[in-house]
Amino acid sequence: MTPKTELFGRIEDYCLELLDAQETSTFEKELELNEELREEVELHKNIHAAITELDILDLKGKLEAIQIENNPDTLTNESFELFDEFTQIQEVTEKLAPEELINSFESLPKVHVYQHEIASKENIHHYYKEQNVSNEVDVMEDDLNGFDMEGLEGLEEAVLETDILNLRETLQQVASSVEPQYSVTDIDEFLNGELSDDILAEFEVELEQNDDLQGEVSLHKDIELAVGEEDVMDLRGELRNIMQSETSWNVSEKSIEDFIDGILEEDLLAEFNAELEENTDLIAEVALREHINNAIAESDIQSLRAGLAKARTDADKKEVKSIVMPHFEVGTTRFWRNSVAMIVVLVGLAGILNTGLQSVDKSYNKYFESPTWASERSVTNTLNTIQTAQIHFQAAEYQKTIDFLNVTSIAKDEAFVAEFYKGLSYQNLDDFNAAILEYSKVITHGNNMFIEEAEWYKSLCYLKLNNKLEAKQELVAVIDRKGHYEKDAKAILRRLRYSFK
Amino acid sequence: MINYTDAQILKGILRHDNLILQDIYKQYYYKVNYFIKKNQGSEDDASDIFQEAIIVIYRKLKENDLIFEKSSFQGYLFSVCRFLWLKQLEKRRIERERLNDSLPFQEDLYDDNLVELVDQNAKYGLYQKHFKTLSTDCQKLLQLFFEKVPLREIAKIMGYKTEKYAKTRKYKCKELLIKRIKQDTEFKKILEDDT
């Protein structure tokens, strides 16, 4: 139904009081605002009133009957004799073109004719056409064939071609869901010259005409070149390591200290100030050191803290294992003084100073938390090797876990599970070298879910062994994975950076 | 602190000399960082741009296409960093007219060669990023294959029983790599730029 016929239907319903209360109220509100609608409703009411004037119609019928009785030969449709000559008037009798009718005034006939015009152009199945054949329809079609759809020629036909519209939509869906004609294997074989002659000829014809295939082949070639650039990948890796582990300022530690102490030589001072203006890392470093100096000056607070720390140590019997073993060089007194100062202050005052630096006394124990062995469901009633080892591990029987895993044969595809938990067991037993060996196997295996954890625990082992270089490398690898341990690894790296320099 | 000459720096980059790379980082990074932060970038943006600028210079060096006539290493590095950042701003649809130029740069370095190289670097960088996300055996397998090592040899190195398995595994690795690349929104942007 077109909006116009819908509207006329609504007007009719309103006139016949067929609308419900809400609809009536809405309609009346609209009626108040819309003059055009008011006129239409008025017209409808008049037509309605005219049709329902039964007394007049009755009278008219009777008069006609009288006329027929008096003059049976004259059978006309006209009322009264006033219409006798109407047939002679051209304007009244001539047939109106539909567009003239539409342009003349707004009313029901206009819509009616318009709908017929649409209907006349609908694609109707022959079966239904045959059933609807009548002279009346023919006449109507003849009348409306001249209807001028200026500028809209073909529009209706196009809109009504729903079958074509559906087909087009289906084709689009099919195109987006269908896999490309040539797989990775085919393209690879083409690039490696492994396609048979007939398939190669077919492929080349397709390649010439198919933009998507050209794109795929080009992507394969580029990937091959990109993957071959081992040197670029290595360089990128090295740069990333440098950026993560090195300080970004171009002045020596001595210069920073001299600057803070106000004894930096004039020529160096200008250079230092120039860098300090732009280098935010250097600004932060200078601020940190100044805070440390200020904190050291608070000797009373320091002694209080020392007392508190001693009391806490006495209360807590647990051994604290430091991951950081400061390395002092006798002779470099300034460095010694500063390092000791940093450690003392960072242990006690990091929170208060709000420098963002955590305590150097973060222990290995803080980071090394032996994980629980994730329980697995068994499909059989008997315990398999891994499950038995798991029971030992969960009971903290680490030596038993290792012994059991050493003597039992484990399926190759599960070996990394055993290696990982053996590593953890060794680590729990403080046998860090053995643990590192097991973790390395897990990492070398390459395709398992324990790699990140293995790297993380391996780095902790290196820390415990005071092997800073290896520890840094493992920590950088952990950071690169951007996984669960990234934040902790960064924290340790930062601490190493500030503690070992 | 040693002051390296431009020639030493370039040789150092070619050799991936850690000391030289550290020196470059310490000497120039903060200036690039300052420039990028002044122009709507972050610390991460700065380190990415700095790293990729060194890679671009390395590519130029490999092609024997880097001669400093009017420029110096510093000038060239800053110009490349600035150019890379301009491209980033363009991608992010940020106006580049209001650029706060704190880096000395040379407009005449921005020729077609550099544009092409930077585009290629971006594309290859993306592919390499996804390559690095593959398992180590997949990476090794693909590398051996691209180095034209015979399949029999590859199977032996990788510990596979048959050549056929090596081939199948290689296809799977490559398929995974291509899938990851295609899913990357950056790849779609690169495609748009190409067309």
* C-alpha A224 chain-centroid distance: 29
Instruction: Retrieve residue B8's tokens.
Output: 């030493």
Distances (CA, A) of A256 to B2, B63, B118: 18, 41, 38
pLDDT in tens, B39-67: 989 999 999 999 999 999 999 898 877 77
Distance from C-alpha of A101 to C-alpha of A105, rounded to nearest angstrom: 7
The model's pLDDT over A160-179, given as tens digits with 9 standing for 90+, comes to: 677 777 777 777 776 666 66
pLDDT digits (tens, 9 = 90+) for B96-126: 667 777 777 777 777 778 888 898 899 899 9
Question: Which residues of B are less than 8 Å from A247 in CB distance?
Answer: 26
Query: What is the C-alpha radius of gyration for chain B, rounded to an integer number of angstroms?
Result: 20
* Cα(A115)–Cα(A303) distance, integer angstroms: 100
Q: For the residues A376-386, what does the mean pLDDT come to?
A: 55
Cβ–Cβ gap A278/B31 under 8 Å: yes
Q: H helices of A279-374, where?
A: 280-297, 299-315, 333-353, 364-367
A455: number of Cβ within 10 Å: 26
Q: Which residue has the higher pLDDT, B150 or A67?
A: B150
Instruction: Give, in order, the Cα–Cα distances in Å from B29 to each of A182, A194, B165.
Output: 47, 49, 47
Distance CA A295, CA A56 (A): 112
- How many other CB atoms are found less than 10 A from the CB of residue A83? 12
Among A377, A385, A447, A383, smallest CA distance to A422 is for: A385
Q: Which of B27, B31, B82 is nearest to B52 (CA)?
A: B82
- The owner of tokens 């009264």 is A80
Please name every residue paired with A322 in a beta bridge, in sequence order, or none if there are none. A363
Distance CA A346, CA A309 (A): 13
Contacts of B37 (CB under 8 A, 6+ apart): A280, B43, B46
Q: How confident is the model at residue A41 (pLDDT cuts 50, 70, 90)?
A: confident
Interface test with A, best of B174, B188, B194 (most A CBs within 10 A): B174
Please report the pLDDT score of residue A264 as a whole number: 87
A211 in reach of chain B (CB within 8 A): no
Interface probe, candidates A187, A242, A279, chain B, greatest B C-beta count within 10 A: A242
Size of interface A-B (CB pairs under 8 A): 120
Helix B73-91 / helix B112-133 crossing angle, nearest 10 deg? 70
**pLDDT for A18:** 80
Q: Whole-number mean pLDDT of chain A?
A: 71
pLDDT of A56? 58
Which residues share a beta bridge with B128?
none
Query: Are A184 and B174 a contacting pair at CB < 8 A?
Result: yes
Q: Which residues of B touch A236 (CB under 8 A)?
A: 51, 55, 125, 128
Q: Is the pLDDT of residue A322 over 50?
A: no
Instruction: For residue A251, give the amino acid letter.
Output: V
Q: Decide: A350 and A295 in contact? Cβ < 8 Å.
A: no
Distance CA A93, CA A265 (A): 115
pLDDT band per the 50, 70, 90 thresholds, residue A155:
low
Interchain pair B137, A446: CB under 8 A = yes
Residues 270-299 of A with CB under 8 A from B: 275, 278-282
Tokens of A343: 């450690």
Q: How many CB atoms lie within 10 A of CB B109?
A: 17
A70-79, A89-98, A360-369, B79-88: range with highest mean pLDDT:
B79-88
- Measured between CB atoms, does A416 come within 8 Å of chain B? no
Tokens of A251: 């002045």
Alpha-carbon distance B51 to nearest alpha carbon in chain A (angstroms): 6
Q: Is the dihedral of CA A446, A449, A450, A451 positive or negative?
A: positive
CA–CA separation, A237 and A477 (whole Å) = 10
Q: In angstroms, what CA-CA distances link B175 with A188, A220, A327, B161?
A: 10, 10, 50, 22
Nearest to A452 by CA among A479, A490, A478: A478
Residue A449, chain B, CB below 8 Å: the answer is no
Closest-CA residue of B relative to A192 is: B148
Burial A395-411 (b: 16+ CB within 10 A, else e): eeebebbbebbeeeebe
Minimal C-alpha gap between B110 and chain A (Å): 22
A45-54, A441-450, B21-30: which range is least confident on average? A45-54
Highest average pLDDT, of A6-10, A414-418, B14-18, comes from B14-18
Inter-residue contact A457 to A442 (CB < 8 Å): no
Q: What SS3 class is residue A322?
A: strand
Kindly determine whether residue A282 and residue B30, on different chains, have CB atoms separated by under 8 Å: yes
Contact A419/A438 with Cβ under 8 angstroms?
yes
**Beta carbons of A279 and B59 less than 8 Å apart:** no
What single letter denotes the amino acid at residue A228?
G
Q: Please name the residue of chain A whose CA is at the shortest distance from the CA of residue B131.
A: A227
Yes or no, beta carbons of A280 and B1 under 8 Å apart? no
Token output for A203: 């492929």
Q: Examine the predicted complex and report whether its ipTM is higher than 0.85.
A: no
**pLDDT on residue A167:** 74
What average pLDDT does the structure give for chain B?
87
pLDDT tens digits for range A255-267: 888 888 888 888 8
Ordered domains of chain A (ranges, CATH): 3-144 (no CATH), 184-228 (no CATH), 368-500 (1.25.40.10)
A334 CB neighbour count, 10 Å cutoff: 12
Distance CA A191, CA B41 (A): 41
Average pLDDT over residues A433-456: 86
Task: Please check whether residue A497 is in contact with residue A464, taking contact to mean a CB–CB distance below 8 angstroms.
Answer: no
| Tokens linked to B110 | 């921005």
Query: Which of B29, B61, B154 to mutate to test binding with chain A, by most A CBs within 10 Å of its CB?
Result: B29
Contact yes or no for B131 and A227 at CB 8 A: yes
Structure tokens at A157: 């036909």
A252 in contact with chain B, both atoms CB, cutoff 8 A? yes
Cβ-Cβ contacts under 8 Å, B34 against chain A: 278-280
Q: What percent of chain A has pLDDT over 70?
A: 55
For residues A113 and A101, what is the distance between their CA atoms, to the nearest angstrom? 8
* Selection from A306, A340, A305, A312 nearest residue A326 by Cα: A340
What are phi and psi for residue A399, nearest 5 degrees?
A: -65, -40
pLDDT at A323: 47
B171 and A188 within 8 Å at the Cβ level: the answer is yes
Task: Residue A252: list chain B partners with CB under 8 A.
Answer: 1
Nearest chain A Cα distance for residue B194, angstroms: 11
Q: HEC string of A366-419? A: HHCCCCCCCCCCCCCCCCCHHHHHHHHHHCCCHHHHHHHHHHCCCCHHHHHHHH
Query: DSSP states of A164-203 as a string?
Result: HHHHHHHHHHHHHHSPPSS-HHHHHHHHTT-S-HHHHHHH
Instruction: Name the closest residue on chain B to residue A481, using Cα atoms.
Output: B133
Percent share of chain B, pLDDT over 90: 42
Rounded Cα–Cα distance for residues A290 and A288 (Å): 5
Tell whether the model's pLDDT for residue A24 goes beyond 80.
yes
Chain A residue numbers touching B30 (CB-CB < 8 A): 248-250, 275, 278-282
| Residue A274: closest C-alpha in chain B | B31
pLDDT classification of A358: cutoffs 50, 70, 90:
very low
Which of A219, A236, A250 is facing B51, going by the closest CB pair? A236
Q: Do A278 and B102 touch (CB under 8 A)?
A: yes
- Nearest by CB to A242, which of B25, B33, B102? B25
- Helix or strand holding residue A38 (H, E): helix A35-51
B181, B124 contact by CB (below 8 A): no
Query: Which one of B22, B59, B125 has the shortest CB-CB distance to A242?
Result: B22
Is the separation of the CB atoms in B47 and A243 below 8 Å? yes
How far is B173 from A224, CA to CA, in rounded Å?
Answer: 13
| Chain B nearest C-alpha distance from A227 (Å) | 6
A182: which chain B residues are within 8 Å (Cβ-Cβ)? Answer: none
Tokens at A209, concatenated = 């005409």
Report whether B57 contacts B71 (CB < 8 A): no
Q: What is the maximal distance between C-alpha atoms in chain A?
A: 147
Q: Which of B26, B143, B171 sits opposite A184 (nearest CB)?
A: B171
Per-residue pLDDT band at A355 (split at 50, 70, 90): very low
